[in-house]
Amino acid sequence: MDRVYGCPIVSCADILVVAARDSVVSLRGPTWKVCLGRRDSTRAWKDLANSTLPSASMDLPALISNFKN
């Protein structure tokens, strides 16, 4: 795993997976090991992210559809 100043490089995908796991655990659900260190990309495109990522106002069916795409 790459490290910068002693910290692992954590991608947006890593943050999403850790947040999902911690949310399930906080509701007394199961836990699982999360491996960190994915790289989303070496570059970022704000317009592409804004047009393809789910919005905070989406309901569950819309989120499921978005992630399937």
Residue 68 placed within a domain: no
Residue 49 placed within a domain: no
φ/ψ (deg, to 5) at 57: -90, 0
Using a pLDDT cut of 70, give the percent of the chain over it: 80
Tens digit of pLDDT for each residue in 49-65?
778 788 888 899 998 99
Listed as ranges, residues in the chain with pLDDT below 50 are: 1-6
Residue 20 placed within a domain: yes
Question: Residue 10: which domain range?
Answer: 1-41
Number of domains in the chain: 1
- Residues of the binding site: 54
pLDDT at position 5 is 46
- Residues of the binding site for substrate: 54
pLDDT at position 33 is 92
Q: Which two tokens stand for residue 28?
A: 């007394």
Using a pLDDT cut of 90, give the percent of the chain over it: 29
